[in-house]
Amino acid sequence: MLRLYDTRTRQLESIVPAGARVLRDYTCGPTVYRYAHVGNLRSYLLPDLMRRVLGRRNVRVVVCQNVTDVGHLVDDDQIDATGEDKMLQQARREGRSPLDIARFYEDAFRRDTAALNIRPPDHTPRASESIDLMIEMIAKLIERGHAYPASDGSVFFDAASFPSYGEISGNRLDALKPGHRIEPDERKRFHADWALWKGSDTAGELTWDTPWGHGFPGWHIECSAMSLRFLGEHIDVHTGGKDLRFPHHEDERAQSNSTVGHDVVSHWVHGEHLLFDGRKMSKSTGNVVLLSDIEAAGLDPLAVRLALLEHRYRQQMNLTWDTLNAADRTLRRWRQQVATWAESPSAALSTAYADRAMAAFDDDLDTPQALRVLRELEKDDSVPPGSRFETFLHLDHILGLDLASDIGKPPVVAVLPEGAAELLESRAKARESKDWPASDRLRDELAALGVKVVDTPEGQTWS
């Protein structure tokens, strides 16, 4: 059965309880104030793979994925975030209401995940529609001595009341230093306490009345309240990106456990960062790539999925246009192979190859090894075409690459525009003579004709 690396225990663990046929997963969903880039989308491939692998083992995974449409402030890397709500900030920039912004980018996120064949969650609660759940939870934390109200209508979690804080990230309370603020926050008992509810003097959008005063929820309490409501007090796995370990998941764990009196989440599993051209993908570095950019370049969106599968979920990955183009070529080749094999007599699944690939999936989602098994099978002429067909489609239930999509379609023959063949020949000669300026000029001329050229160790290829 599937084993994953547990961030809290620092070891591989079987995530399915003995005899269980249902597994509950909570995954932190999008903050819907902008388009999700491919680095964001990588995080959602993790629970999707988990569902697909366990589905082949007759274990149903119930996924709850929240939608953060309030309470996520600009300074979100601090234990107690400050600054403006990201929803309000973007609404002002675009001249639209926060609700319009939220629904627009939520819809865009759903389209992107669908294009990547990421199956929709079972539950998708919105933070703005779950305020009553948060108020009820905050009241319990105050009653049980884990939270306290302040005079301005804010409510803070008493960090010292949760001694095991830091088990996920290693950031223990006794080692945490006060933040960048010049003056200490007089409302707090301890500088590492964080706001469950933030008081606000002004009424407006994204604020509500509570027994403590007018205001809005903190980001961390949202996930605690929604996960307990939709998955209950025993959650098998909590997934998310590595950057959420601290403070978000530490705070969430403290809140949830303090509310119910025991460890709510059995396993914490985190995916690594995605780099693009050697740098972390972010707006500040100017290298954000959206799924729409991939499609505009003429690539299949599932080439992104295949490229991501080339690395294990908890390995840092450097994505480039070259790797995306290579993934697109592999995807198209496999689909053509599957369509060709479909014309052959049917044959039994190759259990030798299928079992090896499934063993790789079970071993901490070792997708690179599973793909190596497929490449080996593709070239193994001792396996009948009908068997290769069955095995590829069997494993595609997990890979999610739509490898059967070319079956029944006429073969596509690429035709070069007039004059392009001569330009390609000239460019190949220029590269042989190491005339790089001429090579670049010819690439641009080909691009103007609609021909994309990619250089590989075996020579140039075009599409």
Q: Residues comprising the binding site for Zn(2+)?
A: 28, 223, 248, 252
Structure tokens of 321?
A: 């246009």
- Which amino acid is residue 36, in one-letter code? A
Considering only CA atoms, which of 188, 192, 161 is closest in space to residue 175? Answer: 192
Contact 24, 231 (CB under 8 A): yes
SS3 percent helix, strand, coil of the chain, rounded to 5, is 45, 15, 40
Taking the C-alpha atoms of residue 279 and residue 267, their distance in angstroms, rounded to an integer, is: 30
Residue set of the binding site: 28, 223, 248, 252, 283
Distances (CA, A) of 92 to 27, 192, 206, 363: 29, 31, 14, 47
- Which amino acid is residue 96, in one-letter code? R
Those residues with Cβ within 8 angstroms of residue 10's Cβ, 6 or more apart along the chain or in another chain = none
Q: Tokens 């499609």 sit at which residue?
A: 295
Residue set of the binding site for ATP: 283
How are beta strands 274-276 and 279-280 bridged, if at all? antiparallel
Q: How far out from the chain centre does Cα 195 lie?
A: 27
Tell me the longest C-alpha to C-alpha distance in the chain.
79
